Amino acid sequence: MVSGERVLIVEDDPSAGAGLTLSLTEHGYDVVLVTTGREALTAAEGRPPEIVLLDLGLPDLDGVHVCRVLREKLPFVPIVMVTARDADIDVVVGLDAGANDYVVKPFTTAVLLARLRAHLRRPPATDADSEVMTVGELHIDTASHRAFLAGDEIELRPKEYALLHLLVTEVGRVVTRDRLLNDLWDLRWESSTKTLDMHVHALRRKLGDRPNGSAWISTVRSIGYRFESP
């Protein structure tokens, strides 16, 4: 049982909204249910939620647009898109709009609750958080959760930063898919690996190639990913 974390659910389907509200309330969450994009933006201006579950198919505003505005209003609040759209392009667009995760309908309550727990987990700050990690022209400021490449800041969503930080911590070594899913999402289900792959894809796109044309992140087939040494 959790201790009343506030969840903003944006879902226009009455049955789906009622089901989510009931399930999350039974598990101790403080649920706010809205049915339109405008209501979601208004709700974000009051008492901010700890996490947002956002459906894409809203009756008034495009869900991707709502996600972008929510990300601006709530820069550190996890946003989980909950939708029936399962094409790779939809996942990419959703993540690029600022979503931290993408859950495809239908899903089980157990999977959704695991996602919520993973995103709501916030480790305490330590003195080590002041460290600046450097790999070639890449610099990671762990105190501010910011990354810089050749002096320019890389705009990273929270999960992209967490993924980059973990890979750089193990620079030159393979980080398994199981570890990435478990450490960043608390997940081990095979069906959840698309979320990891899309985050790696987005991170690669933002990093680009090294000056010599090689990639920062290599895929080790059937095992995981490796952040390459300079």
Average pLDDT over residues 81-89: 82
pTM value surpassing 0.75: no
Percentage of the chain beyond pLDDT 70 is: 90
| CA geometry: angle 153, 146, 134, nearest 5 deg | 85
Residue 200 has pLDDT above 70, yes or no: yes
Residue 92 has pLDDT above 90, yes or no: no
Report pLDDT for 187: 59
Closest CA to 95 of 74, 62, 57, 68: 68
> Beta strands of 76-216 (E only): which ranges?
79-83, 101-104, 132-135, 138-141, 146-149, 152-154, 174-176
Report pLDDT for 206: 93
Contact at 8 Å (CB) between 97 and 160?
no
CA distances from 102 to 19, 75, 89, 140, 193 (A): 19, 17, 12, 26, 11
Average pLDDT over residues 19-46: 94
Q: Where is average pLDDT lowest: 100-104, 193-197, 204-208?
A: 193-197
Residue 127 has pLDDT above 50, yes or no: no
- The residues near 140 (Cβ < 8 Å, ≥ 6 apart) are 132, 133, 134, 146, 147, 148, 164, 165, 168
